[in-house]
Structure 1
Amino acid sequence: MPKILAALMAGTSFVTLVGAAQAQDATPAQDIIVTGSRVVKNGDNSPTPVTVVSTESLSNLRPTSLTESINTLPVFSGSRGQFSNPGVSGGVSGGNGSAAQLNLRNLGGVRNLVLLDGRRVPPTSYTNIVDADVIPQLLVKRVDTVTGGVSAVYGSDAVSGVVNFVTDTKFEGLKVQAQYGLSTYSDDPSMNAAIAWGSKFAGGRGHFEISYEYRNDDGIMRRSQRSWYNRAVVVGNGTTIPYSLITNGTLSAQPFGGKIISCGTGCALAGQYFASNGVLSSFTNGTTYSGTTTQSGGAGGYLDMSLKASQRSHQVYARTDYDFSDNVHGFLTLSGNFKKNVSYGSDISLANYTLSTGNAFLPSAYAAQMTGSTFVLSEINTQIERARFEPQTRQLMAIAGLEGKLGEYNWNVSYVYGDSRLSTTSYNTVNNQKLSAALDAVSTAGGPACYAATQAATASAYANCVPLNLFGPSASSQAALNYIMDTTHYVATTRQHDINAAISGSPFSTWAGEVTAALSGEWRAQSFISQSDATPSMYADCTNLRYNCVATGSRTLLYAGTLASNPHVSQSVWEVAGEVNVPLLKDVALAKSLAINAAARYTKYNTVGTYWTWKLGADWHIIDGLRFRGTISRDIRAPTLNDLFSSTAITMVNNQDLKTGATNLLPSVNVSNPNLTAEIGNTWTAGLVAKPSFLPGFSLAVDYYDIKVSNAITTVQGFQPTIQQGCNTGGLSIYCNLIQRDSSGNVTAWYVQPINLSKITTYGLDVEANYVGAIAGHKLALRALAAYQPHIRYIQPGVATVDQGGVAFGTNGLTASPSWRLTGTASFNITDTLRVDAIYRWRNAMKLWGDPSVIWATGQGTVAPFGQLGMNISKTVTLPHNGKADLFFNVQNLFNATPPAANAPGTSTAPGGFGGFSVVDDAVGRYFTAGFRAKF
């Protein structure tokens, strides 16, 4: 159906819709500065699809952070934030897994641009992602979302579109707001307080405004705080053992208290665990599954990571502008965001650790029954606080510019500087060298001691070593746990300089109207540097460590999770662009107006070469109330500094080797690729906008889009089943090079690397309907937005095509992308001062995984649909000094809908850790917020 509709539209004129339909209280279309063009200033004539929503509407419907609120728009899918899984290492997190990463159409946050008043916002992490919380939220008056390729207009990275935050540069007076929220479970309290002031000066020639906002959200520090969270994981291998989603997952090999895995030939203690300190008990199994030690129920252990990261931020913003003359205007903007997130990872997870039968803490009766000199034990130790991650971001941005008129032409020059520092502290990080020493406890005259501390060569190095007792749920001493834990630090700084100049105007006119044109040039330079005290090159010193430390070959890392130090790296780019809008017809049969819009840009990177991008668009008003619009474009995204030059980083992963069937904890080695080139996007859209005269107040916008990204930069993970099969059955070296094996054929390391490998294709429909009317003289506003995106195909040589359309989980941080995403809003003025707003969001059922080559058990592999309703009641009251205030009470997820259980393959080794639900679903539950907004 979507392709048929698109063909009909294309046959009409090969032009598209721009869905510039407004929110019920958005700025009138004629005042909109359209983000998709430098020369088209009227939203009714935009050549590129634009959705506009006012911040007043967003805050009435969902009074949270602005970045969280705009993610209710269906054009967003796969965005990340406080509900992202805990963690700080890896390319997805960029040192902060809770950063607000906007994502259009789930093509990746690096493929859309974030703008502030039409200017590129500097990146805030080494992955080139913008943490959109840097935007000064209190003085943003609306958000324009462009859902088409506009690299020719705004430069590299605008493959899937642009999100432009438009501030109120003319604000005068005083604005104050405060609110407090709490969940129906009496947790996740949040508070927000903000103030803004603006005034003219110098007889009206100048203007100044300033704002400050404080936000504190305690988050939800344990997943078990929600009764619906049932530790859903996927078991099986997807081939000989079909995948199945199970709930109440436990690790039978790692119970709390410790389980003896093996203890020599004929040892009867194998399989028993320390249910109480120093006392072995028979292990009670739950429901077992073939090929895994993960069970449903039973006495096994599990994790309990954060459900929602906490967030505390201070946001400051100031802007001043001045008319130096009638034709020259200058401005300066300063913005800062100081934010800290906190999330919790796993408890101490010990799998297959070797201990001496002479261990000082092992009861002698048990030691006597063991037939070897060593035995193997596994457990999850919950005695100490879980791994805690505290990323702190300091994001500074300055924008200075001049603009004015030169005859009939408008010109502007601006400079944008961004400085982002990310300081990540990881608490309770296991030091594997200390752990090895502490586990080798021997008896001495002074009591239990660490073996290495009793040896002359290492006595001084381990003088502070405290032996660790693992034999029981609370057997470990606090001193021993403190000894094996370190606090590690990572500091990364990203800077960007951006100089932009443009001139625009009308060089001449045709009989159909003015021809408008723009010429612009830009120079950008970006740099990155980082320092870490827990790097991948740090290995344990195994001297006099008898067990659990490997000194050669696959050496024991000092820390399982690392972030690499990176030397200073940089890249720069020059760009020159031109754009023109040419009216062709006016007031003729079947054409009230017809205009063509074209843009081209030449881009030269000092790292990846030169590229041309272009855009061609048309706007055809057939009659009043009916128009067709369209664009076709060629866009680029250059590889990031992280893709090109990042230092090697290592994390430990527990994945199955499909060739041997073995599952082991092994290093995942992340490496860069200096040979990358830019990826190329080709986009076209087709649609219509209707405002029928027989239905006043109603508008309908329908867009079809088709996006193809070739030479796509894909981070290929050697441990992924698809990649393993590409090596095992296809023999492709590009995949086999990512799997390191020893002479016996056992995997010793997995490699992860960005490669120009994939082709990404997607298409879909965007629909927006608006109605503004009245019931008995009281204003009624209705808005419905829908996104249909059935496929997001990742096409790679030699392996099955992965389709993320309508899928809940994916590799490389790809999150849920329902094929149908619906948002409906309603607003009704009961009286002149009392208003009710409602928002309903819904997504369809999804597949759990997008790889068609894997096999699911009958009735498995999908997650049910989910929807939720939010309500807001606001009362306007009059204040002294011509002020007014809106008092509001808001309830999100009014009926406390709970997300259905869902997870991805590969999660069986960590129940209570990753996933458990689709991140587009509401995991908090019913949430109450009360507050006020006042203006004087």
Structure 2
Amino acid sequence: MKRTISVSTRLRPSAWLAGSSAAALALPLIAIASPAGAQVASPAPAAAAESDTRYDDNREITVTGSRLRTGFTAPTPVTAIGDAQIESRALNTVAELNYEIPQLRINQNIGRSSEPVGQNVADLRALGSARTLLLLDGRRLAATSPFGGIDTNIFPVSLINGVEVVTGGASAAYGSDAVAGVINFSIDKNFEGLKVDASYGQSKYDDFHRPVISAAAGKSFLDDRLHVTVAGDFFRNTGQTRVASRPWGRRNSVLFNNLGYTPTNGQTKNFIADGATFSRMTFGGLIVAPATSPLYGIQFGPNGTPQPFVYGNRINTVFQLGGQGDSIEDEGNIMPRITRYSGYGRLSYEASDSLSFWSELLWSRVEVQSDLAPNYDSGTLTIRRDNAFLPTSIRDIMTANNIPSFSFGRMNLEDGFSENNSVTRAMRYAAGAEGKFGDGWSWDAFVQRSDNRFRQESVNNRIQANWFAGVDSVISPLTGQPVCRINADASTANDNPACVPINVFGVGSISQAALDWYRGTSFYAAKMRQNAAGLNVAGTPFATWAGDVSLAFGGEYRRETINSVSDAVSLVSGWRSINQQPFSGKLNVKEVYAEVGVPLAKDARFAKSLELNGAIRYADYSSSGGVTTWKVGLNYSPISDIRFRGTLSRDIRAANINELFSGRNQVINTIVDPRDNVANFVTQLTGGNPALDPEKADTKAVGVVLQPGFVPGLSVSLDYYSIKIKDAITSVPAQTIVDNCLKLGIDSFCPFVELDGAGKISRVTATLINTQTVKTSGVDFEAAYRRPVEWFGQSDGTIGARLLVTYVHDLKLTTSGVTIDYVGDLATDYSGQPRWKANFDLTYAGGPLKLGAYVRYIGSGKFRSFYIDDVDLPADQNHVKGRAYVDLSAAYKITDAIELYGKIDNLFNNAPPIIPNNIVQPTVSNSQMFDKIGRFYVAGVRLKL
């Protein structure tokens, strides 16, 4: 029975070995640079091979780089990771693969409450996850949240036997979304036997724990014609680790907005400061009336006792430096808590040598818990003179000075920390058939259905109307007891007998009855469904003077729907935060494609080989109509040791359902008004736009692949890429909208900025639009060297080294003539990418022992790439140093069936750079690119039978 394993070129092993100078290599299955310019797997020698029936000489090699299946070398760069590499790195989640491929941007949401916390999506070239097409066994996955994107946490790691990354546009071959590239995760569909992998991880600080167990079993029946495979995973990280548990996280660092800045006084608009506390609220309450008021700076201590508040020497609208104040920064999370369960089952039947059938089921459940700041009012509450709980001494001052009310700030520790919890359930059913006909032709067809569920809850949220009604309390003239004003005034239309008066003076003053009145749980739930069917045919219709012409063609149909609901309070935007708005939407697409590979020369005087590749696809979207994509590629080898390659393509991405139909969602964040450099909390609205047009991207790539025969085992590739996206679908950041309108005077942005009666920014609308262009370019470099080694005169194993480097020249977003280059922007969660990233692996495998050393480098950059040194931020603070992380791994087989292994990540316990933000609970290291856990130990055992 022939086995199939996905790697990175569409050559059969015999064809590859016949023409490769690296054919003498004898390696375990692991990614190395191939003559196709991608990564290829070489079979292991008898001495080093594992007793695994998957790796037999009859396997067929396929790839995502092209749909052509025979006799063709794809000109598109592809990087691959084999299952041996996954094992040697002891990777427990697909998300960890982000660290292995420099072109991938680390993209796990660890705190943005308006999106699924904990979700990890694939993002090539930092162009956004929506522009990276994600496949599982060559077929699309449905969105796992209504916000768009596919959470890679849902994949079962136990059966993943390879990952291929096409680092360039591939829409002509694979359809919409493949603007930045394609990532295909391959499942070992024909696994034989039983394997169990159990491990336990623990941080140096003994506060972050990660138990993992995975298992897979496979068995053939009926003379190997019927095959059954099942697998399951359990993964948990304890998460919720306090930032103050790390030495670098104990300084109360914030991005301090400098109210004293003027263009001529030599100060900067912002600076990073330690020891920050709140300037406009305390845990017991703080009066923040104008400084001329006799009430200014009075706080409330135990039992509501008035006390003086000592202000610092630097104050802004959120924080102060020096003086006396409160902070919750120490309680900030490093990571959310994630628990994952996943299962997979597959049944295949080989009816004949030319026809087989299969069916499969993928199920996953991911639970995420994360806490956020308690409910607060940063100097925005209004307290009237007749408030029922106001201390008599304060009321006397107000009466004497004819002060009817004052502004008040308080953080409600009584509420408990808010929680942002979510559950994602993914279910994918699929069935299909594949076969052969004629002379070398093959076909495959499938039908697939995905039913995904998502639910997000915000626990300990606050109903604003109830809160304000309860805070505005008075003494009832009838009972002499505190009551809500709405129940004591002359109007009966606003009465609410359930209203509970709230005492906000002093820590712990809020009663349980009051908490029950205004505190609650908001929710948002969605169902995402995708139905798909496809047919692919490939073969060699005829030959030229240089060899067989390869042809592939086919079509696909998809229908996607999203239906979501939210609670009644959210519908009227009544909660203090989140207020997700429900929406429903659907779209369908019909696609047809063709791809051809034409050999133009072979063993000629001027060329060892010359091949032309072309592809075209037409897609008809119900939302935006028809669009055509295409690709042209060329391979040229003057000699067998060198190959030049290049591609030119037009790629597209149509808006997804969320981008088209999502309702307006509300978040509250700080916005700096460029007119006075004052930061205030501003409501920001985001949402979809049904008028969005498809993006169009022009991609160019040229490269060279070297495999010198005089250095057996060495493979090197160098590729230049350029991607320019027109009519890019994006939500312009709210701060950018404000700056473009109020600072640069660009009128097209001003309708999105709302001012209140006092001229202050009250709301910013940042809905999705087709902006002008997004452009990125750079260079990728790969080198791999593997050789057998001898100990004491006998062949014992192999030593391998691999280097992956990516250099980003530019990463620009242009909107209404304003261009921002995000290269080196390390502070943002969603935009930037270092100019340099690199991975270096050094491995040894021989007999029962495997050893590995790995270095991951993240280059230096800026706090904000668009900040002006010594204007927006001091130059030394705007520069962020890079980091190099060293990991070690080891494994030893104590029997043929049992292997013990362990690893140490971040061996030198490198701390992340301090790049905070200026929100109420600042993130001390506001970047996902750097490790925050610290040194991490993993020990495990593998059982294979």
Please, what TM-score do these two structures have when normalized by structure 2?
0.88
Residue ranges of structure 2 left out of the alignment (5+ in a row): 1-33, 45-54
Q: Does 1:844 align with 2:859?
A: yes
Deviation per CA, 1:304-356: give whole Å up to 9, x if none: 33220111111010011111222211111110111110111111211221112
Q: Is the 8 A contact 1:808 1:849 kept in 2?
A: yes
Deviation per CA, 1:123-154: give whole Å up to 9, x if none: 22233311122222211101001101010000
Bigger CA drift: 373-382 or 22-31?
22-31
Q: Is the 8 A contact 1:252 1:298 kept in 2?
A: no
Name the aligned partner's letter for residue 389 of structure 1. Answer: N
Deviation per CA, 1:827-868: give whole Å up to 9, x if none: 124x62122212111111111113257733343312111121
Partner of residue 930 from structure 1, selected from 912, 921, 939: 939
Partner of residue 163 from structure 1, selected from 183, 190, 203: 183
1:921 is displaced (CA, Å) by 0.4
Deviation per CA, 1:185-241: give whole Å up to 9, x if none: 111211111111101122211111001111111113433332311343323379845
Task: Give the 5 Å matches for 1:431-470.
Answer: 431-443=463-475, 445=479, 447-454=481-488, 462-470=496-504
Q: Which whole-Å CA distance do the structure 1 matches of 2:924 and 2:451 have between them?
A: 33
Q: Is the 8 A contact 1:453 1:459 kept in 2?
A: no
Q: Is the 8 A contact 1:583 1:596 kept in 2?
A: yes
Partner of residue 320 from structure 2, selected from 292, 295, 300: 295
Q: Is the 8 A contact 1:536 1:648 kept in 2?
A: no
Name the aligned partner's letter for residue 244 of structure 2. Answer: S
State the identity as a percent: 32
Q: How many residues align?
A: 878
Match of 1:498 in 2: 532
1:653 is displaced (CA, Å) by 3.0
Match of 1:3 in 2: none
Partner of residue 563 from structure 1, selected from 580, 584, 587: 580
Partner-residue secondary structure (3-state), 1:224? helix
1:261 is displaced (CA, Å) by 0.6
Q: Is the 8 A contact 2:566 2:581 kept in 1?
A: yes
Partner of residue 600 from structure 1, selected from 616, 623, 644: 616
Partner-residue secondary structure (3-state), 1:213? strand
Q: Is the 8 A contact 1:22 1:770 kept in 2?
A: no
Task: Give the 5 Å matches for 1:874-885.
Answer: 874-878=891-895, 884-885=897-898
Q: Which whole-Å CA distance do the structure 1 matches of 2:942 and 2:489 have between them?
A: 69
Please, what TM-score do these two structures have when normalized by structure 1?
0.89
1:747 is displaced (CA, Å) by 3.1
Match of 1:189 in 2: 209
Q: 1:496 to 1:455 in 2, by over 3 A?
A: same
RMSD of aligned alpha carbons: 2.6
Match of 1:779 in 2: 798
Name the aligned partner's letter for residue 863 of structure 1. Answer: V
Partner-residue secondary structure (3-state), 2:908? coil
Q: Does 1:677 align with 2:688?
A: no
Match of 1:806 in 2: 824
Q: Which whole-Å CA distance do the structure 1 matches of 2:99 and 2:937 have between them?
A: 19
Q: Is the 8 A contact 1:51 1:144 kept in 2?
A: yes
Bigger CA drift: 851-860 or 573-582?
851-860
Q: Which whole-Å CA distance do the structure 1 matches of 2:578 and 2:212 have between them?
A: 34
Q: Which whole-Å CA distance do the structure 2 matches of 1:338 and 1:819 have between them?
A: 36
Q: Which whole-Å CA distance do the structure 2 matches of 1:286 and 1:143 have between them?
A: 54
Deviation per CA, 1:418-459: give whole Å up to 9, x if none: 111101111000111111122123345574443334458669
Q: 1:460 to 1:476 in 2, by over 3 A?
A: same
Task: Give the 5 Å matches for 1:476-495.
Answer: 476-495=510-529
Match of 2:809 in 1: 790
Q: Which whole-Å CA distance do the structure 2 matches of 1:427 and 1:72 have between them?
A: 36
Q: Does 1:589 align with 2:605?
A: yes
Q: Does 1:422 align with 2:431?
A: no
Task: Give the 5 Å matches for 1:255-654.
Answer: 255-262=282-289, 267-288=293-314, 292-303=317-328, 304-351=331-378, 352-370=380-398, 371=401, 372-408=403-439, 409-443=441-475, 445=479, 447-454=481-488, 462-533=496-567, 537-538=571-572, 557-566=574-583, 568-654=584-670
Q: Which whole-Å CA distance do the structure 1 matches of 2:919 and 2:67 have between them?
A: 52
Q: 1:757 to 1:399 in 2, by over 3 A?
A: same
Q: Is the 8 A contact 1:337 1:394 kept in 2?
A: yes
1:778 is displaced (CA, Å) by 4.2
Q: Is the 8 A contact 1:23 1:770 kept in 2?
A: no
Q: Is the 8 A contact 1:231 1:247 kept in 2?
A: yes
Q: Which whole-Å CA distance do the structure 1 matches of 2:650 and 2:563 have between them?
A: 32
Partner-residue secondary structure (3-state), 2:877? coil
Match of 1:226 in 2: 246
Q: Is the 8 A contact 1:175 1:935 kept in 2?
A: yes
Name the aligned partner's letter for residue 932 of structure 1. Answer: V
Deviation per CA, 1:235-281: give whole Å up to 9, x if none: 33798453322233322112332211118x96433113234442333
Match of 1:546 in 2: none
Q: Which whole-Å CA distance do the structure 2 matches of 1:28 and 1:864 have between them?
A: 47
Name the aligned partner's letter for residue 438 of structure 1. Answer: G
Name the aligned partner's letter for residue 751 of structure 1. Answer: T
Bigger CA drift: 406-415 or 376-385?
376-385
Q: Which whole-Å CA distance do the structure 1 matches of 2:188 and 2:765 have between them?
A: 48
Q: Is the 8 A contact 2:737 2:753 kept in 1?
A: no
Name the aligned partner's letter for residue 280 of structure 2. Answer: A
Q: 1:527 to 1:915 in 2, by over 3 A?
A: farther
Match of 2:681 in 1: 665
Q: Is the 8 A contact 1:17 1:702 kept in 2?
A: no
Match of 2:772 in 1: 758
Q: 1:216 to 1:921 in 2, by over 3 A?
A: same
Match of 1:132 in 2: 152
Q: 1:661 to 1:401 in 2, by over 3 A?
A: same
Q: Does 1:695 align with 2:695?
A: no
Q: Which whole-Å CA distance do the structure 1 matches of 2:577 and 2:184 have between them?
A: 40
1:562 is displaced (CA, Å) by 0.9
Match of 1:4 in 2: none
Deviation per CA, 1:852-907: give whole Å up to 9, x if none: 577333433121111211111211121xxxx512211211111111111013xxx3
Q: Is the 8 A contact 2:522 2:569 kept in 1?
A: no
Q: Which whole-Å CA distance do the structure 2 matches of 1:826 and 1:41 have between them?
A: 33
